[in-house]
Amino acid sequence: MQRNDRVNFGSKLGAILAAAGSAVGLGNIWRFPYEAGNHGGAAFILVYLACVFVMGMPIMIAEFTVGRHSKASTGKAFSVLAPGTQWKWIGFLGVLAGLLILGYYSVVAGWTLEYIVAALTGSFVDKTSADFVAIFQNFSQDPFRPLVWLLAFLLFTHFIVVKGVKDGIEKSSKVMMPMLFILIVVLACCSMSLPNAGKGLEFLLKPDFSKVNADVFLGAMGQAFFSLSLGMGCLSTYASYFGPDAKLGKTALSVGVIDTMVAIMAGLIIFPAAFSVGIQPDAGPSLIFITLPNVFQQAFGGVPFLATVFSLMFYVLLALAALTSTISLHEVVTAYLNEQFKLRRSRAAMLVTGFCLITGVLSSLSLGVWDDKILGLGFFDLLDFVTAKIMLPLSGLLVCLFVGWYLKRSLSYEELTNGGLQKASYFPLYMFILKYVAPVAIVLIFANELGLL
């Protein structure tokens, strides 16, 4: 596709919702609430807010700058902005990370579909805690069933991406994001009206500064990175579809605010319900697929219909959040194949879906029947480790260095002010963060995650 016949998002709202859709995902719902609750409640939230707004926003604006100025997907953008240099590797890193993440992320996303069906068919009614553990283990280790849902989820993603930027990504975000907001508000209100919900609120919101140490700081930064979809070129690919009048600073702020609000609201669903029935919430997949169905069953168990509706709404919420994120991951790779190799969009998307189906199947099997280890990890965990802990911070760091040190300052200024039409009084601070603060912070996250600190 040539630079001038590129499709753009049809509206500024569409652009914001699509980018927010990428950011809001499984990371907001199962990881943030647990991290916050266990690391000092409101104290963690304050640290997290600082990470999002001081570090996350500038990096997001930097990704937007790369995308909109190059008018190319991330795989090509760096070659357009810095032809003949090695900076092109940042783009390849993003494409590869997107491809690898999509495989294992879709496995978990597929589980949400199984749980939607289970909620709908009343399979959770009258079950004990032990039953919920068994249900999850039997399902996730089954060699066949999760693969059906993986395929279904990848096909949903595939068809939306094939429909294109305006009719697929933008339109679906405009439908799914409002649904997601409504569901999350309704669920949070129901959860907070349960008896003893106050204890859960206290767990999430009561500040305990004694728990804030360097580890918490670094954990919050890593979480902010993953949650805002930074370091993978998703947002820079989406920004290549922004119109000339889109305001980069404002869009980044909206995405940051939406993403953070969804994360906090997820905590307002999970903790009041868990504390109301006296169950200590835990982390990760077991929280959303073992603990929560049990919590919902007990919390609303007196009225099985209510428990069913609540569980159903929760898993639909998760599926929507995951889908808007998988779409953005898929788009990074599809757009690259489409632009770089001039493949038709449908063919490019087919290749991506096919590849992710293979990595997804391997990831899923590695949780059950396939117990070989690679570098001491199962395939699923290996993909998670390599992408989230290595590729993501590395490419985030390189983006900071690229925009902070390599790109002309005037080019960044022009993008932020839309050619001088808008004010951007924060520009010197933004550049300072990109040049110095963010790179140092990312190196620290990196070292911490690899256990070097």
Applying CB under 6 A, the residues found at the interface with ligand PFF are 22-23, 25-28, 226-227, 229, 232, 234, 325, 328-329
Q: Which residue has the tokens 């499709």?
A: 7
Q: Which residue has the tokens 């690391």?
A: 39
Q: Report in angstroms how near the CB of residue 328 gets to ligand PFF at its nearest.
A: 5
Q: Report in angstroms how near the CB of residue 234 gets to ligand PFF at its nearest.
A: 4
- Helix 438-449 to helix 392-401 angle, to the nearest 10 degrees? 160
Q: Report in angstroms how near the CB of residue 101 gets to ligand PFF at its nearest.
A: 6
Q: Report in angstroms how near the CB of residue 385 gets to ligand PFF at its nearest.
A: 15
Q: Report in angstroms how near the CB of residue 36 gets to ligand PFF at its nearest.
A: 14
Residue facing ligand PFF at closest CB distance: 25
Query: Considering beta carbons, is residue 135 or 382 the nearer one to ligand PFF?
Result: 382
Backbone angles phi, psi at 320, to 5 degrees: -65, -45
In angstroms, the CA 426 to CA 448 distance is 30
**Cβ partners under 8 Å of residue 103, min gap 6:** 355, 356, 358, 359, 360, 362, 363, 383
Query: Considering beta carbons, is residue 311 or 325 the nearer one to ligand PFF?
Result: 325
Query: Considering beta carbons, is residue 24 or 424 the nearer one to ligand PFF?
Result: 24
Q: Report in angstroms how near the CB of residue 23 gets to ligand PFF at its nearest.
A: 5
Query: Considering beta carbons, is residue 308 or 328 the nearer one to ligand PFF?
Result: 328
In angstroms, the CA 310 to CA 401 distance is 46
Query: Considering beta carbons, is residue 71 or 330 the nearer one to ligand PFF?
Result: 330
Contact 328, 20 (CB under 8 A): no
Q: Report in angstroms how near the CB of residue 188 gets to ligand PFF at its nearest.
A: 18
The tokens describing 437, both together, are 């603060």
Q: Which long-range contacts (CB under 8 A, 24 or more apart) does 156-161 make?
A: 156/323, 157/102, 157/106, 157/323, 157/326, 157/327, 157/330, 157/353, 158/330, 158/349, 158/350, 158/352, 158/353, 160/323, 160/327, 161/327, 161/330, 161/331, 161/334, 161/345, 161/349, 161/352
Query: Considering beta carbons, is residue 308 or 338 the nearer one to ligand PFF?
Result: 338
Q: For residue 377, what are the β-bridge partners?
A: 374
In angstroms, the CA 227 to CA 28 distance is 6
Q: Report in angstroms how near the CB of residue 121 gets to ligand PFF at its nearest.
A: 27
In angstroms, the CA 175 to CA 374 distance is 41
Query: Considering beta carbons, is residue 8 or 325 the nearer one to ligand PFF?
Result: 325
Query: Considering beta carbons, is residue 325 or 448 the nearer one to ligand PFF?
Result: 325
Please report which helix (H) or strand (E) contains residue 118, including its range: helix 88-120
